[in-house]
Every structure is written in structure tokens, then in C-alpha cells.
Amino acid sequence: MIVDLSHPIEDGIQTFPGGWHPNVAIQTLGRLCVEGRRSTRIELGTHTATHIDAPSHFIEDGDSIDRIPLELITGAASVIDFRHLSHRTAVSAEAMVAALPDELHTPRVLLRFGWSKHYNTPTFYDSYPYLTLEAAEVLIDKGVRLLGYDTPSPDDPNNGRGAELDSPVHKVLLTSNVWLVEYLNNLDALPVNVHFCALPLPLVGVDGAPARCIGVVDD
């Protein structure tokens, strides 16, 4: 069975809630009745809907999205369940150690918070559970290279743009070359072990890209 793990991209959906990051705009260019063919103009930010953050999103000399290792974006992944957490709850280092298997045999980890049900609402951005810096360091020490989650960020909602601490968890993960798959959908449908595939657009020199993500589950 193949599970679609991406949110659809539609006209008008919100991306990051900031005036400098506009909502998606989808407009008709070619028309069957005039130009004899359909074509469409799409305006969207690189961090729209389900997407991958490249290190260059926050790191001056970090890799861009076209340089993501292809062997990293497909393969076995471990799904770690945090659905018991309430709004704005931090995952501590101790909680991360307890949730991870003793032996992690894959560099791909998906964190399941059950948060995708809030997608495209204000709650999605202002109340999600998040990681402490120490929890992020546990993942780095475990050899994680691709980290996905069904929330908009690994950081405390209070630590966004303009805060005294702007996105410290993003920065420690991306500095360690951990690529981030954000806004995942349907993680509830996955078992603990799954074959994961995340395919971003190969935008040269760019800080991230929307991605079609799937989970392949043995029948």
C-alpha cells in the first residue's frame, strides 16, 4: 500500500504566516478556447505545504535543495510516535531517547505528532509541539540525516522570526546537515517501520522546495 504523505497545494492556501511569504496564487495562462491548450502560472514560496528545508535555509554556506543526496530521500524510515503530547509541549532529550529504538538502523526518522489535522488553520502555526535543543542533539548523535514531522517546525512556536532566539533547533539540525521534511500528512496511517520517499523539485541554488512524499507499507 502506498500512503500519500503530502498536503495538496491549492490556490490561496497559507504558507508561513508572514507578509513577506505570500499565499499560493494559481492563475490561468493558456486556455483551450483561445490558445488551444491549458497552462498555468503558479506563485508560491519554497516552504509551501509539504516541503524540504535545505541547510541553506538558515546556514550561510549550507547546501541548496538541488544538492540533497538522492540516496537520502528514499529508503527505510522509523516512525516515532508523540501523539500523546498536548499543544505547545516540548520534547525533551529524555523523552526522545525513550521514544527512539535502542538501535536506529536508518538515517531517516519521522516524528508523528498527529498535527496535520490542524493544517491550514492558525492553530497549525501557533500551538504545535516542538523539540528542545537537547532533543535535536540526540537525533544528531543517533546519526539522523533526514528528519520529517507533521508540524510546521521543530522549533518552539515562540522562537520564530523576530524572537531573541530565532529558530535555534532549525539551525543546529541544518548545521549538522540534517535535512528537514516539514508539514507531512497522514503519518497516522504508517507503521513503525516504513519505506519513505520524499522528492523535492531540484531548484538550483535554492533554500528548499515543495516535495511529493509517500510511505510504502507492506500489505
Please say if the pLDDT value at position 74 is more than 70: yes
Contact status, residue 199 vs residue 6, Cβ threshold 8 Å? no
Is 93 part of any domain? yes
Query: Can you give the pLDDT at residue 163?
Result: 62
Please say if the pLDDT value at position 19 is more than 90: no
Is 26 part of any domain? no
Mean pLDDT of 119-132: 94
Across all residues in the chain, what is the average pLDDT?
Answer: 95
Those residues with Cβ within 8 angstroms of residue 181's Cβ, 6 or more apart along the chain or in another chain: 50, 51, 52, 53, 110, 146, 147, 148, 149, 198, 211, 213
Is 37 part of any domain? no
Please say if the pLDDT value at position 108 is more than 90: yes
Which domain, by its residues, includes 82?
2-6+45-216
Mean pLDDT of 23-45: 95
Please say if the pLDDT value at position 164 is more than 80: no
Query: Can you give the pLDDT at residue 18?
Result: 74
Is 24 part of any domain? no
pTM of the model: 0.96
Tens digit of each residue's pLDDT (9 = 90 or more) over 169-182: 999 999 999 999 99
Tens digit of each residue's pLDDT (9 = 90 or more) over 52-66: 999 999 999 999 999
CATH number of the domain bearing residue 67: 3.50.30.50
Is 128 part of any domain? yes
Is 28 part of any domain? no
| Total number of domains constituting the chain | 1
160 vs 1 pLDDT, higher one: 1
Other Cβ atoms closer than 10 A to 124: 19
**Position 214 confidence tier, pLDDT thresholds 50, 70, 90:** very high
Please say if the pLDDT value at position 33 is more than 80: yes
- Least confident segment among 97-101, 163-167, 171-175: 163-167
**Position 161 confidence tier, pLDDT thresholds 50, 70, 90:** low
Positions marked active-site: 57
